[in-house]
Amino acid sequence: MPSKQLKQRAANAFQDVCGYPATTFVQAPGRVNLIGEHTDYNDGFVMPCAIDYQAVIACAKRDDGVIRLISVDYDHVQDSFVVNQEIKPTEDKLWANYMRGVIHFLKEKGYSLGGADIAITGNVPLGSGLSSSAALEVVTGQAMKVLYELDVTQSDLALIGQASEHNFAGCKCGIMDQMISACGEKSHALLLDCRSLESKAVHIPESVSIMIVNSHVTHSLVDGAYNALREQCEEASRLLGKVALRDATLAELDASSIEKGSDVYKRAHHVISENERTVACADALIAGDLQKVGEYMYASHASMRDDFEITVPEIDYIVEVLAEALGNKGGARMTGGGFGGCCVALMPTEMVPQVQAAIEAKYQAKTGIKESIYICTPQNGAGVI
């Protein structure tokens, strides 16, 4: 569903529920991470791009201090609270917590807010690793920024979205998803330093296509697996005497007291090597060397499979099929937090039909699950529609 249709869907729902037309429309995109997985909360490097799947809000001010949230995609289910009272997570509308948290942290940081009617819809696939939660957080912040003319930067909106996910949704995510949703650039990926939040735009030529294959094996990172991985990385940093794994080298890891082959060792090995791959992959993409880009993507996938242990058989099979179809003309890997979700591939645009045909011929036959395939182009980050 393109942006215009999402906007109309939100507008119609807003009118139906609120009885008057929305005044303001904003969007925030989902993202696909080309390389750099589980490096963001280790102060490392990532290379995501915003994609043309997004969360869209239709909204208007209210003068009574009430925030009313309307979920267009959940049969117009509503949640409401008063902006100048304490805002807490709700137990029965989990989708609303991502939005409640953003408004809570905007308030906590001293921004002056009032009431609003907010209708939210979107087409970022849920549980797929394309960051539907970050899009929801960022679009909420963007709506309040526009409605109340807040002097808040896009980077600060991303940090507020991250705080919401940590404290209202219970997932200790890194900053990548929110930052690319807030700050993405059309036709570019961003090489993002998750410590300094400095970024470098990495141009993706028009002759290169991004294919995302949704395995439809769904994950939920709030169930503890993500947080457990993060704790193992923090333990590795402590044992290495580093602020974060970003500061460690593979030589230091091998010379440390961490037992080789242990879970803590393997997690650290992935993160340290993944940081090196991500920076090198950005250089290869800038140089237009798709063969080298592919080598880094396949190495990233192997590391996620063997060291971080976050892939599943369906995901590994998709990467196997993509690798066979692409040869040395592109690359593929799992993308997202793991345990299902999506794979991403970069390839010459003329190869898209044959690669898509290979996935369609083999994946369902092997797994019994019908995949979804998205061909994406890098988009701008959050803003007014």
pLDDT of residue 221: 56
pLDDT of residue 101: 97
The percentage of residues in the chain with a pLDDT greater than 70, rounded to a whole number, is 97
pLDDT at 277 exceeding the cut of 80: yes
Q: What is the mean pLDDT of residues 192-201?
A: 95
- What digits encode the pLDDT tens for the residues 285-339? 999 999 999 999 999 999 999 999 999 999 999 999 999 999 999 999 999 888 8
Q: Which distant-in-sequence residues (6+ apart) come within 8 Å of 269 by Cβ?
A: 250, 253, 303, 307
Catalytic residue among 79, 117, 177, 307: 177
Dmax (CA) of the chain: 67
pLDDT of residue 289: 96
Torsion of CA 68, 74, 75, 77, to 10 degrees: -30
- Looking at 3-12, 167-176, 342-351, which range is the least confident one? 167-176
**DSSP element (H, E) containing 157:** helix 154-164
Give the bridge partners for 59, in sequence order: 24, 118
Q: What is the mean pLDDT of residues 359-384?
A: 96
- What digits encode the pLDDT tens for the residues 15-25? 999 999 999 99
Q: From residue 382, give the alpha-carbon distance in Å to each of 63, 122, 155, 171, 296.
A: 26, 13, 11, 22, 29
- What digits encode the pLDDT tens for the residues 115-157? 999 999 999 877 666 778 999 999 999 999 999 999 999 999 9
pLDDT at 220 exceeding the cut of 70: no
pLDDT at 224 exceeding the cut of 80: no
- What digits encode the pLDDT tens for the residues 373-384? 999 989 999 999
pLDDT of residue 360: 98
- What digits encode the pLDDT tens for the residues 41-78? 999 999 999 998 999 999 999 999 999 999 999 899 99
Reply yes or no on whether 64 is catalytic.
Answer: no
Residue reference for tokens 């807003």: 14
pLDDT at 1 exceeding the cut of 70: no
Residue reference for tokens 């182009």: 377
- For 3-200, the fitting CATH number among 3.50.50.60, 3.40.50.1820, 3.30.70.100, 3.30.230.10 is 3.30.230.10
- Per the structure block, which two tokens stand in for 129? 């690793």
Q: What is the mean pLDDT of residues 204-217?
A: 94
Can you say how many angstroms the Cα of residue 315 is from the centroid of all Cα atoms in its chain?
18
The percentage of residues in the chain with a pLDDT greater than 90, rounded to a whole number, is 87
**DSSP element (H, E) containing 62:** strand 45-62
Q: Which of 130, 133, 160 is nearest to 145 (CA)?
A: 160
- Looking at 55-69, 244-258, 335-349, which range is the least confident one? 335-349
